[in-house]
Structure 1
Amino acid sequence: MYDEQFRQQFHFSPKEKWMNDPNGLVYYKGEYHLFYQYHPNSSVWGPMHWGHAVSEDLMQWEELPIALYPDELGQIFSGSAVIDKENTSGLKSSDEEDVIVAIFTHHGEDNEKQSIAYSNDRGRTWTKYHGNPVIENPGMKDFRDPKVFWHEQTQKWIMSLACGDQIQFYGSRNLIDWTFLSTFGSEYGAHGGVWECPDLIQLEVEGEKEKKWVLIVSINPGGPNGGSVVQYFIGDFDGEVFTCDDEKETIKWADFGRDFYAAVTWSNVHEPVWIGWMSNWQYANQVPTDPFRSVMSIPRKLKIRRDNNEWKLVQTPIDLSLFYKDTILLNEDVTLLPLEPKQIELKELQVMVDAKVRENQSSSFTLTLKGEKEQLQIVFDCVKQEVRVDRTRSGDVSFSEYFASVDKMPLNELNDFILIVDKSSIELFVNQGSSVMTELFYPSEQNYTLEWNATDGEVHLSNVSIHHIESTWK
């Protein structure tokens, strides 16, 4: 089990059946809880439940029984979970445990409304609140995905809610009685599709004492390379209104790859961490995996960076060093010369590559995961100032007309990169996480090399490390 052809070995996926958005991310007493949109009866999307897994380290996951089932109010769509430490809800019944409250969308026939459920035994069993829904539908088709946090300054719970192609904010003292606060987004950002899975979080600015608020919004369709994508806005939040610092037409993408969506953060943690669904609605139901379908990204740490007076969301993978299986290179200098490709044999497609670019005299250079007939190529193009991921010959691309793609990310300069490869996915973090691409691929061959090529000039890399990553399935 967990060794199927395309099963990632250090990313979470359910043992079997369909999964999409991460939900209810919360940390409590040494456990990270990951709930997720789940259809237990099929490997394609269907009536939504909340699946459930826990981890002590965000890497080794234990799948638990389904947490929430559909009922007479509808399917269990996306939402969040919080630790109600002060028992503001009055739902606590245990002397030993804080009550965990889940806030989610009940999806009925053309009627979405917000409901809650609670657990007094560390998330093992759940009771739906007798007075659900706690927010009735105001007459909107898309009215979903509540993300809730405690706002210390105003001493109330704040909910971000996706409403069509904008975000509404609500406030509550007790997680049960909610008051509308404000709306954001009708004139800001990208509007190529419906807005989903919002998150509002305060993050530290790297190297500064200042903090900024980040509003995270998934949008489908409308991505820069097609289909699903995550956008974000940086500004301030006063407990009622979110004010964006950027011009209205500014669009900021969290990940330029095709396969990072519905990302949200864990609550009740000291260091901000989020995770995303590693797929795209253009082909999510067709990807050639069995008996499971869909996988989560590597959990990523978040902060804000001021880059040429522009605010940027920065993502870096959590520490994988505990799971290094063996080391291929360690802090070595590598020089790439035109027409002299360097090849490194990979025992398996479970690797992390880390490198700094000391000097680059070439118009472009490439990293290629190369089999006998298949390849996935990453091109760092200094002339066009972009990164391209070419998966047109990466293995099985036949299952969807949308999958064989060359995806692009703008890049003004290249200082360093981390590449994480796991069986059928890559995650590329450039310039210490200020630019990111996440992509799926489905290789059929057994033997692969990592090939490095400079096009027409020398490329000097330093601190090059390559590690095989071991499986985290228990």
Structure 2
Amino acid sequence: MYNEQFRQQFHFSPKENWMNDPNGLVYYKGEYHLFYQYHPHSSVWGPMHWGHAISKNLLHWEELPIALYPDELGQIFSGSAVIDKQNTSGLRTSDQEDVMVAIYTHHGEDNEKQSIAYSNDRGRTWTKYQGNPVIENPGIKDFRDPKVFWHERSQKWIMSLACGDQIQFYRSPNLIDWTFLSTFGSEYGAHGGVWECPDLIQLEVEREQDKKWVLIVSMNPGGPNGGSAIQYFIGDFDGTTFTCDDEKDTVKWADFGRDFYAAVTWSNVSEPVWIGWMSNWQYANQVPTNPFRSVMSIPRKLKLRRQNNELKLVQNSIDLSSLYKETIRLNDNLALLPLEPKQIELKDLQVMVEAKVKENNSSSLTLTLKGEREQLQVVFDRVKQEIRVDRTKSGNVSFSEHFASMDQMLLEELKDFKLIVDTSSIELFVNQGSSVMTELFYPSEQTYTLEWAATDGEVHLSNVSIHHIESTWK
């Protein structure tokens, strides 16, 4: 079990069948809850339920029974969950437990509305609110994905809601009675597709005393390399209105890879952490996995960093050191000369590679996961000032015309990188997490090497470490 071909070994995936967006992320009494869009009867998208898993450390997951089933109001689409510590909803029935409230979209035929459900036993059983829906559809086709948080300054619950290609904000004293506040987005950002899965969070600015509000918005299609992707806006929120600091035509992408979507943050945590669905709607229903389909990213910590007088969203993976199985290299120096590639044999495709760039006068540094006939390449191109991930020869690419891709991300200078490889995915964090790419691939060979190569010049690396990562399913 959990060792099927392409099954990732330290990322969450359901035992079987279809999964997409993470939902209802909430932490309570030592447990991180991960709900997710789930179709329990097929490995392709269908009538949506909320699947459910819990973890104590965001690495080892236990799959629990389905939390929410479709009903007469419709399918259970994406949403969020909160701990109603003050029992503002009046839905608490236990002396020992706070009430956990899920806020989600009921998707009926051409009619989406917002509903709630509640649990008084740490998310194990759920009761749908008798007065659902709590927000009726105002005549908008795409009206979904409520993300709710408690706003201290106004002492109200705030909801961000995806409405076509903009975001609406609502306020409530009790999670039941909601009042429309404002709309954002018609003149800002990218509009190549429908906006989905918003999240409004406050993040610290690294090495500054300041905090800023960040509005996260998934969009499908229209991503920087095709298909679905996540954009974000930085500004201020006063309890009623979100005001963006950037020019209207500014577009900021959270991840330039093809396979990071619908990411939202956990609520009731002291440090902002999010997780995303590792797939792309261009081919999500066709990826060659069985009996499960889809996987979640590594959970990532979030903050803001000022670069060239501009604020950027920074992501870094949670600490994986507890999963280190074997160290191939540690705090090593590596000199790469032209036409003299270095090869390191890999026992499996469960590795984390880290390095700092000490000197670089090459035109490009290339890392290649290499089999006999297959390869996945990451090219750090100093001349074009970009990173390219080439998965055109990475194994099975025939299942979709959209999959065999060469994906690009601009990068002025390479200072360091972390590459996390797990069976059928890579997550690349560059320059301490200020640039990120997430990509799936489906290799079929048994043995791989990691090849390092410099072109037209030398690259000197320091702090090179390569760790094999153990499975979290054992």
- Regarding TM over 0.5, the answer is yes
Q: Percent identity?
A: 86
Distance, in Å, in 1 between the alignment partners of 2:56 and 2:329 is 29
Q: Alpha-carbon deviation of 1:397?
A: 0.2
Q: Alpha-carbon deviation of 1:321?
A: 0.2
Aligned position for 2:186: 186
Aligned position for 1:350: 350
* Other structure's SS at 1:180 match: strand
* Other structure's SS at 2:403 match: coil
Matches within 5 A, 1:45-124: 45-124=45-124
Q: Alpha-carbon deviation of 1:156?
A: 0.1
The one-letter code of the counterpart of 1:384 is K
* Other structure's SS at 1:46 match: coil
Number of residues paired by the alignment? 474
Q: Alpha-carbon deviation of 1:234?
A: 0.3
The one-letter code of the counterpart of 1:61 is W
Distance, in Å, in 2 between the alignment partners of 1:385 and 1:457 is 16
Task: Report the TM-score, using the length of structure 1 for normalisation.
Answer: 1.00
Residue deviations 1:191-237, cap 9 Å, x none? 00000000000000000110000000000000010000000000000
Distance, in Å, in 1 between the alignment partners of 2:359 and 2:159 is 47
Q: Alpha-carbon deviation of 1:345?
A: 0.3
Aligned position for 1:238: 238
Aligned position for 1:303: 303
Residue deviations 1:274-296, cap 9 Å, x none? 00000000000000000000000
The one-letter code of the counterpart of 2:145 is D
Q: Alpha-carbon deviation of 1:306?
A: 0.6
Q: Does 1:412 align with 2:432?
A: no
Matches within 5 A, 1:203-218: 203-218=203-218
Matches within 5 A, 1:335-374: 335-374=335-374
Distance, in Å, in 2 between the alignment partners of 1:27 and 1:214 is 21
Matches within 5 A, 1:72-471: 72-471=72-471
Distance, in Å, in 2 between the alignment partners of 1:27 and 1:209 is 26
Moved over 2 A (4+): none
Aligned position for 1:43: 43
The one-letter code of the counterpart of 2:382 is C
Distance, in Å, in 2 between the alignment partners of 1:135 and 1:82 is 17
Residue deviations 1:294-330, cap 9 Å, x none? 0000000000001111010000000000000000000
Residue deviations 1:120-147, cap 9 Å, x none? 0000000000000000000000000000
Q: CA-atom RMSD, angstroms?
A: 0.3
Distance, in Å, in 2 between the alignment partners of 1:239 and 1:462 is 47
Distance, in Å, in 2 between the alignment partners of 1:294 and 1:42 is 12
Distance, in Å, in 2 between the alignment partners of 1:127 and 1:21 is 22
* Other structure's SS at 2:134 match: coil
Q: Alpha-carbon deviation of 1:48?
A: 0.1
Distance, in Å, in 2 between the alignment partners of 1:308 and 1:223 is 24
* Other structure's SS at 1:322 match: helix
The one-letter code of the counterpart of 2:129 is Y
Structure 1: gaps of 5 or more residues: none
Residue deviations 1:412-450, cap 9 Å, x none? 111000000000000000000000000000000000000
* Other structure's SS at 1:133 match: coil
Distance, in Å, in 2 between the alignment partners of 1:309 and 1:244 is 16
Aligned position for 1:33: 33
Distance, in Å, in 2 between the alignment partners of 1:134 and 1:357 is 54
Distance, in Å, in 2 between the alignment partners of 1:358 and 1:109 is 58
Q: Alpha-carbon deviation of 1:342?
A: 0.3
Distance, in Å, in 1 between the alignment partners of 2:447 and 2:311 is 42
* Other structure's SS at 1:372 match: coil
Distance, in Å, in 2 between the alignment partners of 1:416 and 1:336 is 15
Q: Alpha-carbon deviation of 1:365?
A: 1.1
Distance, in Å, in 1 between the alignment partners of 2:127 and 2:422 is 37
Distance, in Å, in 2 between the alignment partners of 1:312 and 1:213 is 12
* Other structure's SS at 2:322 match: helix
